[in-house]
Amino acid sequence: WDLIAIPGGLPGAERIRDSVRLHPALEKHWRAMRPLAMICATPAVLGEPKGFLEGVAATSHPAFIDEIGGSLEETQPYTEGRVVWDANIITSRGPGTALEWSLCCVEAIFGRAKALEVAGPMVTQPATLPPKRPFEWRLEEEVSSRVDRALEKYAN
């Protein structure tokens, strides 16, 4: 395979980790330096114990931060990046980062131009956001400021 993408969540990540049938395929893929992508709990629950994260930077769901980086070989064991690509390992934090993670996987297989082409019609957020438009919702914005803006509009 060009890339193996391993989904996250529990108990799925634990079942994949414990599968005696899947481990040889994952190990062979990893040793061949082919892309291995993990998301959510999987980097911590499967990647770390199996040694796939040895010596690379990685991320995982915030609930599993303490599970990453148990080796002296790891110089940057954990990062809070939404998607982290180091060597042949792609990791991501959870469901909210799944689209970015999948686009990173596209780039790993087909290159940056193809990832940008695929991302275009998906209406993804650009890396650098333009100034907000009136009434545009963004997660970091406080609700009260939107209400205040709306009230100001009608008060004048």
CA distances from 152 to 132, 141, 145 (A): 17, 17, 10
Strand partners, 4: 36
Alpha carbon distance 62, 96 (integer Å): 12
Q: Is 104 a catalytic residue?
A: no
Question: For residue 6, what is the DSSP state?
Answer: E
Largest CA distance in the chain: 69
Instruction: State the catalytic residue, choosing from 36, 37, 39, 40.
Output: 40
Catalytic residues: 40
